A and B are shown apart, each in its own frame.
Chain A
Amino acid sequence: MGRYIARRLIYLFVVLFVVSVITFGLMHAVPGGPFDREKKLPKEIMENLNKRYHLDEPLVMQYGRYMYDVMIPHFSIKAPTSSLLDDHLFNVKVGPIWIKWMNFGPSYSSRSRTVNDIFRDQLPISMQLGLMALFVALVIGLPLGILAALKQNTIFDYLGMSVAIFGVSVPVIVLGPILIYIFGVSLKLLPPTGWGAKPPYVLGFLPAKLDWNFWKYAIMPPIALGLGSSAIIARLTRASLLQVIREDYIRTARAKGLQERLVITRHALKNSLIPVVTILGPMFAALVTGTFVTELTFGIPGMGKYFVTSITNRDYPVIMGTILLYVVFLVIANLVVDILYAYLDPRIRYD
């Protein structure tokens, strides 16, 4: 297993390299630049800006410079400064020497902020939202799917699957405002917009205090974001459990005289969860990266806004940073799924 994980991490670097080249090439191929405005800036200012951010260099040089800043640890006797050009994600002091790693550069459009600032302040919020949405998806989707399968072709099945179809067909942009209107505006139970968690975060992304001030903001958005995924999980769980129930080993379990309850919990469930687990990786990544509309609807200061506006603004460092981050996310989410997979199914061994 250890060797397998190591192999996957090497694979992560290969993917990061390929994606970074493609992204870098594409974003520079698109016409326009970060400092283009309706009213053109004076030529000298333009040249100065381009020089300051090295945009006047050949693309290969720019790419090399970027990768060097991000990938290669820097050793220095100088303590980290507050300069926008010298902001590293990791700063470790060993004796008199500072090891600094991962400088994703300054943001061009949000002046006075670096990409690392966005990672530190906005990313945790999107992760919290995504994680809770995944939790909502599981908590609603699994029981609904199991119930529908066990009561196949009964009112429970039809009702559950109707809820599932409702879940996939109603987008966040419709469901969000409806929730806000009912619980935020009419009943005044929950604040309609905002987010309660503030830095510093535990482990870099978990809220430090889980009190009502956190939860009152964190009920509606995860439901709005997670409902669609819960529908997918419900349908998959139902289909998978229905198939498992027809397997020979379920008949064997019944022939041994097991209670129906044990036949389901001990023999059917674990097997039927295997296909569900495979989609959790991509699903989690999609939830964390697909928070834009939810964040907009509920006024949540997450990553989504930066990711989307960075592209129209040609904010090159933010585009690169967020995309590379999402790649790391996707690969790690899938790795976790693979490990879970091996735990669920003893036939799968990675070494």
Chain B
Amino acid sequence: MTDLLTVAGLETQFRTREGLVHAVNGVSFNLKEGETLGIVGESGCGKSVTVMSMLRLIPSPPGKVVAGQAIYQGKDLLKMSDEEIRHIRGAQISMVFQDPMTSFNPVLTIGRQLAEPLEIHNGLSLQQAYDRAVQMLEMVGIPRAKERLNDYPHQFSGGMRQRVMIAMALICSPQILIADEPTTALDVTIQAQIVELVKRLRDELGMAIIWITHDLGIIAGLADRVSVMYGGYIIEEALVKELYANPTHPYTLGLLNSLPRMDETDHRRLYSIDGLPPVLLEKPNYCPFAPRCAYAVEHCWHENPSLIPVGPGHTVACWVDPATGRER
């Protein structure tokens, strides 16, 4: 399979009152056709900023993409003109956002907002776009789709709104769907429905997906490959089975240990990683996870590790092999 999207050395910073925030510090990954990539990490580790940087949706000021490239169909998304990237947004790469309550315009009807990408990118008339919008709503499981076009966002429940969001993202049949924590704001049962819906749509439509979450549990049944982020870096990357079988970075181990497991017989307490997430006001010259790491050795405090291969398609940024507790 060929690479659809290649991101290399992406760096994004925010100028804030406290100082320069290094939100993303040289992130690289690729996405193959039809593949689902999970990006996992705790709140504030730079997941959203990474994908928004690619689509140039970072508010500027205060944000700025200072380095890197994002090659899509042979062209760098970060260097193309505003007009070129506009034709890619919503048509070839589209996004679903975390909060379905605030991500819709409260004063426009759902139909109007749903039809908009078709109107912009495919030059359809509003009527033609509405017909397609009804099909999409039916596809994502909204009952009485036709009547509901004239409703406003506040007349839908959170889960229904997120379905509409997904319909809106897929209406132009994009190559890549970026889902930025699309289930975080929803009830657990609704979360599962949304995950099932996206899986079904992926099988029908065949788009590639970047699924952002801080819940490794969701990713297990959905993604082909997972990148784990910490403090603006990708610190481990592997195929999903490999990651669950051989988690190698101490942070990934911590994340997996903090998942509740159904097959657990002894009711041990849920594990949680001690300490606070890193302050991003400086680019550390040591491992950013070292202050919270149970395995940290002297070396970790002097040099920030970069990703090294530890197995087929499995890379990790860590000086220590947690299996032995010794430096590699």
Q: How far is the CA of A248 from the CA of B52 in the complex (A)?
A: 13
Q: B107 contacts A246, CB within 8 Å? A: no
Q: Is B107 a contact of A345 with CB atoms below 8 Å?
A: yes
Chain B residue, CB-CB nearest to A271: B107
Residues of chain B lying within 8 A (CB to CB) of residue A248: 97, 99, 102-103
Question: Does A266 make an interface contact (CB < 8 A)?
Answer: yes
Report A221-253 residues with CB < 8 Å from chain B CB: 246-249, 251-253
B88:A247 contact, CB within 8 angstroms = no
Task: Answer yes or no: A10 CB below 8 A from chain B CBs.
Answer: no
CA–CA, A17 to B154, complex, Å?
Answer: 39
Encoded as 1 (CB less than 8 Å from any B CB) or 0, chain A from 250 to 293 comes to 01111111111010001100110000000000000000000000
Contacting pair A266 B103 (CB below 8 A): no
With A and B bound together, what is the CA distance between A246 and B58 in angstroms?
11
Q: Which residue of B lies closest to A266 (CB)?
A: B108
Bound: A251/B108 CA distance, A:
15
Tell whether A347 is near chain B: CB-to-CB under 8 Å.
yes
Of the listed stretches B116-124, B243-251, B316-324, name the one at the interface; the rest are far from the partner chain. B116-124
Q: How many A-B residue pairs have CB under 8 A?
A: 71
Answer yes or no: A344 CB below 8 A from chain B CBs. Answer: yes
Q: CB of A42 within 8 A of chain B?
A: no
Task: Look across to chain B and name the residue whose beta carbon is closest to the beta carbon of A345.
Answer: B107
- Complex: chain B residue closest to A254, CB-CB: B57
Q: Is the interface of A mostly helix, strand, loop or mixed?
A: helix
A267 pairs with B105, CB closer than 8 A: yes
Task: Check B102 against A257 for contact (C-beta < 8 Å).
Answer: no
Question: Which residue of B is nearest A344, CB measured?
Answer: B107
CB <8 Å contact, A253 and B152 = no
- Cβ contacts under 8 Å, B104 to chain A: 249, 252
A254, B90: Cα distance in complex, Å: 9
* Chain B nearest CB, measured from A348 CB (Å): 10
Q: Which of A254, A257, A258, A344 has the most CB of B within 10 A?
A: A257
Given contacts A249-B103, A267-B105, A346-B106, is CB(A257)–CB(B86) below 8 Å? yes
Contact of A251 with B106 at beta-carbon distance under 8 Å, contacts A246-B59, A258-B120 already known: no
What residues on A are CB-neighbors of B106 within 8 Å?
Answer: 249, 271, 345-347
B107 touches A255 (CB 8 A): no
Shortest C-beta distance, B133 to chain A (Å), equals 13
Q: Quick check: B59 and A252 within 8 Å, CB to CB? A: no
Q: Which residues on the A side are within 8 Å of B87 (C-beta)?
A: 257
Q: Known interface pairs A249-B104, A346-B107, A346-B152. Does A258 touch B116 (Cβ–Cβ under 8 Å)?
A: yes
Please provide the chain A residues from 102 to 153 with a CB less than 8 Å away from any CB of chain B in the complex. Answer: none
In this complex, how many residues of chain A approach chain B with their Cβ under 8 Å: the count is: 23
Q: Is the CB of B154 within 8 A of A251?
A: no
Assembly CA distance A266 to B120 (angstroms): 13
Q: Please, which residues of chain A bring their CB within 8 A of the CB of B168?
A: 256
A259 to B91, CA, bound (A): 13
Q: How far is the CA of A346 from the CA of B153 in the complex (A)?
A: 9
**In the complex the two chains form, is A253's CB within 8 Å of B117's CB?**
no
When distances are taken between beta carbons in the complex, the residues of chain A under 8 Å from B89 are 254-257
The answer to whether A256 and B120 touch across the interface, beta carbons within 8 angstroms, is: yes
Closest to A274 in B: B107
In the complex, chain A residues whose CB is within 8 Å of the CB of B154 = 346-347
Check B107–A270 contact: CB distance below 8 A: yes
CB distance A255 to B108 under 8 Å?
Answer: no
| A255→B104 CA distance, assembly (Å) | 12
Contact present for B94 and A256 (CB under 8 Å): yes
- B-chain residues with CB within 8 Å of residue A257 when the two chains form the complex: 86-91, 117, 120-121
| Closest-CB distance, A24 to chain B (whole angstroms) | 45
- Cβ proximity bits B80-104 to A, threshold 8 Å, 1 near / 0 not: 0010001111110011010100111
Q: How many whole Å from B104's CB to the nearest CB in chain A?
A: 6
- The answer for the CA separation of A249 and B103 in the assembled complex, in Å, is 4
Neighbouring B residues of A252 by C-beta, 8 Å: 95, 97, 103-105
Q: Is B55 an interface residue (CB 8 A)?
A: yes
What is the distance, in angstroms, from A151's C-beta to the closest C-beta of chain B?
14
Q: Nearest Cβ in chain A — how far from B141, in angstroms?
A: 21
Contact between A249 and B105, CB atoms less than 8 A apart: yes
- Complex interface bits, B209-245 against A, C-beta within 8 A gives 1, otherwise 0: 0000000000000000000000000000000000000
6 shortest interchain CB distances as A-B pairs:
A257-B90, A256-B90, A257-B89, A248-B102, A249-B105, A346-B152
Q: A255-B94, A262-B120, A266-B108 are in contact. List 12 more A-B contacts (CB 8 A).
A: A248-B103, A251-B97, A253-B105, A254-B57, A255-B57, A255-B95, A270-B107, A271-B105, A271-B107, A344-B107, A346-B106, A346-B152
Where the two chains meet, the residues of A that have a C-beta atom closer than 8 Å to any C-beta of B are 246-249, 251-260, 262, 266-267, 270-271, 344-347
B interface vs A, CB < 8 Å? 55, 57, 59, 82, 86-91, 94-95, 97, 99, 102-108, 116-117, 120-121, 152, 154, 168
Q: List 24 A-B contacts (CB under 8 A).
A: A248-B103, A251-B57, A251-B97, A252-B97, A255-B55, A255-B57, A255-B95, A255-B97, A256-B116, A256-B168, A257-B86, A257-B87, A257-B89, A257-B117, A257-B120, A259-B86, A262-B120, A267-B108, A270-B107, A345-B106, A345-B107, A346-B106, A346-B154, A347-B152
